[in-house]
């Protein structure tokens, strides 16, 4: 019994040792299982992420493919439109070239006409300069004439004043002359009466008395002659002043007429200068419009070429982007296959560990 008991104790000790080893192995397997399970969960998460990324990329790929198909369709339409537009553009370019040729010919013709007009304008400017000079000279002469006219007007006013004074003086002298004539007539009458009385009393009177009467008579006659002479001189001076006044009035009238003629000539020359300036401005404006039309046609041709180049660049960019997306899609397919393989291998390892775990549990249960 002791031997059997000892044998059983040894068996129990051995079983305990085996049990300890199994527990240790179980703990190790549990730890490996937990680690594997954690890795599996990580792989599941990674797989889910990859699935999500794959789904997103698949959707993006489909969207990109649809976009590419749309772009290809649009590109075909655009190519067709571009071909039609190019053909229309070529036709338009031909028309524009024809128009440009015509415009250039018209421009050359206009340039020749413009040069001729420019020469005429230069000549006109030279003529205008000469006319301005003549006008300035005429204005200077007009100013001198106006000054001279003002002086003549002042002289005429002074002459009129002097004539008025002389007329007044002449009128007074005429009145005095009338008075003197009346007095002379009275004196003559008295003298005739005196002579008649003297002749009637000639026989009884003395010669001394006759000499005294003769002296008085000569004195009176001398005074009368002086008065007549003064009156004639006043009349002559009055007629001279009237004649001078008439001459001054005629000269002033002629000067006024000359000034009006000069003003008329100046107005006509100024109008002609304005007409020439308007013609020159119209020619310059027409030339500027032709140049602007030519520049617009050139800009339209350049815009068409730039639009065509931009479309070609956009097509190249889309083709490059499609190529990049196809490469990224292939890489994702490879990564997905690799992930599936890793998942399958981990699944197999997980199954192996599950079987080992069940075996250990069964052995422990049996023990």
Q: What is the pLDDT of residues 326-347, one digit of tens each?
A: 777 677 778 777 777 877 777 7
Assess contact for 207 and 122: CB atoms under 8 A: no
pLDDT at 70: 76
Place of tokens 């020749």: 112
Long-range contacts made by residues 319-325, C-beta under 8 angstroms, separation at least 24?
A: 322/64, 322/68, 325/60, 325/61, 325/64
Kindly provide the residue ranges of all beta strands, DSSP E only, lying in the chain, ordered along the sequence.
none
Place of tokens 């010669």: 207
Q: Comparing 104 with 205, which gets the higher pLDDT?
A: 104
Query: What is the distance between the alpha carbons of residues 24 and 20, in angstroms, rounded to a whole number?
Result: 6
User: Does residue 128 carry a pLDDT above 70?
Assistant: no
Residue 30 is encoded by which pair of tokens?
């549990």
| pLDDT tens sequence across 267-315 | 787 787 788 778 767 767 876 776 787 688 778 768 767 877 777 787 6
| pLDDT tens sequence across 158-190 | 766 766 676 676 677 667 667 766 766 776 676
**How many Cα atoms are found within 13 Å in the side-chain-facing hemisphere of 173?**
18
Distance of CA 23 to the CA centre of its chain: 100
What is the residue-averaged pLDDT of the chain? 71
Residue 287 is encoded by which pair of tokens?
């030339």
Query: What is the distance between the alpha carbons of residues 96 and 294, in angstroms, rounded to a whole number?
Result: 10
Query: What is the distance between the alpha carbons of residues 155 and 276, in angstroms, rounded to a whole number?
Result: 44
What pTM value is reported for the model? Answer: 0.32
pLDDT at 71: 67
Burial of 293 (0-12, 13-18, 19+ CB in 10 A): middle
pLDDT at 207: 46
pLDDT at 110: 65
Assess contact for 259 and 148: CB atoms under 8 A: no
Report the SS3 class of residue 335: helix
């Amino acid at each position: 019994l002791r031997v059997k008991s000892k044998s059983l104790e040894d068996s129990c000790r051995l079983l305990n040792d085996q049990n300890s080893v199994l527990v240790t192995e179980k703990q190790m397997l549990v730890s490996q299982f937990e680690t594997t399970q954690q890795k599996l969960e990580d792989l599941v998460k990674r797989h889910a992420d990859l699935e999500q990324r794959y789904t997103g990329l698949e959707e993006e790929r489909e969207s990109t493919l649809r976009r590419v198909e749309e772009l290809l369709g649009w590109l075909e339409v655009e190519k067709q439109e571009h071909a039609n537009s190019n053909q229309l553009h070529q036709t338009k370019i031909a028309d524009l070239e024809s128009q440009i040729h015509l415009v250039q010919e018209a421009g050359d013709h206009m340039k020749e006409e413009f040069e001729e007009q420019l020469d005429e304008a230069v000549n006109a400017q030279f003529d205008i300069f000469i006319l301005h000079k003549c006008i300035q000279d005429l204005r200077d002469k007009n100013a001198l004439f106006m000054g001279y006219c003002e002086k003549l007007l002042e002289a005429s006013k002074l002459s009129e004043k002097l004539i008025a004074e002389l007329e007044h003086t002449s009128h007074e002298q005429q009145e005095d002359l009338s008075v003197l004539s009346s007095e002379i007539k009275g004196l003559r009458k008295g003298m005739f009466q005196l002579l008649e009385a003297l002749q009637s009393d000639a026989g009884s009177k003395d010669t001394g008395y006759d000499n005294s009467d003769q002296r008085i008579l000569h004195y009176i006659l001398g005074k009368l002659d002086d008065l007549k002479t003064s009156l004639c001189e006043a009349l002559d001076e009055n007629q001279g002043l009237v004649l001078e006044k008439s001459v001054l009035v005629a000269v002033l009238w002629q000067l006024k007429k000359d000034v009006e003629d000069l003003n008329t000539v100046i107005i006509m020359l100024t109008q002609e200068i304005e007409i020439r300036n308007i013609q020159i401005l119209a020619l310059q404006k027409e030339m500027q419009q032709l140049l602007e039309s030519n520049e617009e046609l050139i800009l339209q041709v350049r815009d068409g070429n730039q639009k065509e180049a931009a479309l070609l660049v956009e097509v190249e960019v889309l083709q490059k982007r499609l190529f990049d997306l196809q490469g990224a899609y292939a890489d994702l397919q490879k990564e997905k296959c690799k992930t599936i393989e890793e998942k399958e291998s981990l699944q197999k390892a997980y199954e192996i560990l599950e079987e080992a775990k069940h075996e250990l549990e069964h052995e422990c249960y049996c023990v």
